[in-house]
Every structure is written in structure tokens, then in C-alpha cells.
Amino acid sequence: MFKKLILTSAAVMAISVPTAQASEGTGVHEIIDVPFSFKGPFGTYDKAALQRGLMVYRQVCSACHSLKRVAYRNLEEIGYTPEQVKTIAGEYTIMDGPNDEGEMFERPARPADRFKSPFANDKAATAANGGALPPDLSLITKARHDGADYVYSILTGYAEAPHGMVIAEGKHYNKAMDGNVIAMPPPLSDGAVAYEDGTPQIVSQYAKDVATFLTWAAEPELEHRKQMGVKVVLFLSIFAVIMYAVKRQIWKKVH
């Protein structure tokens, strides 16, 4: 009985350990387990990585993907001053209105505005991308299994299609994508974004930084949540010790 239990748990552990998993059906579904700083019970965001990730999003991804749930002023949370946020927002022109004459008008974005979307609507976005809609990235790390690991794996997962596999025009082979075919052209290449802090300007680094940034976009409260968890565990441990002492005190007279 006991032996069986140990054997089963060993088998379960053996199954859950591998980091790159094969999925059912044909092809691979390769998800890389990235050592992000925000993983684990004590995880925190790396501010420098968040700021580099913002650069990658702004310079590359924002050409196709919106980030509708994030406002420019939220960037204060990743280390920008209100003045810097104002400057960043001011670099975008957005549509506002209607004004008193009933007309829409353009104006520079303000910190309270949400990130400007690259397309007027989903139909326009789909039409511009060969019939595939680039999803809004605000919640992508929560919407997909494996979150940040998934985003990283997609961005680094482009490769030569295996021999014999035919990829349709405008599609690309990708090891992380379900079915291994994706409509997004490889968005990153070495040297594409100029980092100012000496961090390597290579695809894997860009992917890691932008995945970090997108995790923050989806879960800005992650650090707070983890700190709270640690505090609760600490409190419960101390409480347990106290209760044990109390119990002994009370039962002492009975023995």
C-alpha cells in the first residue's frame, strides 16, 4: 500500500518535471521554463527589465498589438517620474471628441489616456495582418497557459519547418504555437532595439524583457500579492507556536 503510494507520486513527479513538453498530435509544443525574477513565492519585478520591455513593446510589438488596459500613468509603477510619463504620452497623437461642434479631433495623449492602439478596430487589424487578428496584449500572460514562458517561447520559437511540412503563404513555423503555424512574422531580430544600459541586444533578451513587461501589464499587483502571502504564512507560523504554548499551559494541570 505504502510502496504503491510512493511509486505513484514518483511517477507523477517524473511527468511534471520536464520543461519542454510535447503535446498530443503532430509536432512539438515547446515551452521554455525561463528563470524570471518574478517567479516563486518571493518573486519581484526587475525594474530595469520592465523598462527595457516597455522599449521593446513600443518599438516593435505596438505596430500590431494594442495594450488597451494600460494607461500611460501606470508607467509610474515601473519607475518613471510623472514628468517622464507626460513626455512618453505626449509622443502619441490620439483621437478625442466630439467637441462642441460635434467633431472628433486629434490631440497629444495625456498620462490618463490608455496606450494608443495601432488600428482603429479589430476588423482593420485583421485586414492589415493577412486575416489574423493580433490579440490585445494587456492580459496575454494570464490568458495563455504558461503565461510569460509562453510569450517568451513564441518569440524565440521560430525555426525552419521540419522536412515535408508545408507552410502556407504568410504563415510561419513556430515551435511554441499550437499546431506550429503562426501568422505573426518573426517580430524580433538581434540589434533591433537599442538598449542604453549595456544589456545584450539579442532576441532571447528582448523576449525575456518584453515578457516581463507584459506580465506586469497583466498583473501589476503581483509583488504585493506575493508579499502578502509570505506575511500570512509567517503570521500563521508564529500563531501556531503561540497556540501550541497555550495548549501546553492549559493541559499541564490535567496531566
User: Using CB under 6 A as the criterion, which residues of the chain lie in contact with ligand HEC when the complex forms?
Assistant: 56, 60-61, 63-65, 129, 132, 134-135, 140, 144, 151, 154-155, 182-185, 187-188, 210
Smaller CB distance to ligand HEC: residue 96 or 136? 136
Least distance from ligand HEC to the Cβ atom of residue 214, Å: 6
Which three three-digit cell numbers place residue 98?
466630439
Q: Rounded distance, CA 193 to CA 117, Å?
A: 20
* Residue 121: how many other CB atoms lie within 10 Å: 9
Q: How far is the CB of 225 from ligand HEC (least distance, A)?
A: 23
For the chain, the C-alpha Rg in angstroms (whole number) is 24
Q: Which is nearer to ligand HEC, 55 or 71 (CB)?
A: 55
Distance CA 89, CA 147 (A): 27
Residue labelled with grid coordinates 526587475? 46
Q: Decide whether 66 or 111 has the Cβ nearer to ligand HEC.
A: 66
Cβ nearer to ligand HEC, comparing 96 with 146 = 146
Minimum CB separation of residue 250 from ligand HEC in Å reads 58
Cell 486575416 found at:
131
Smallest gap, in angstroms, from Cβ of residue 231 to ligand HEC?
Answer: 33
Alpha-carbon distance 70 to 112, whole Å?
Answer: 10
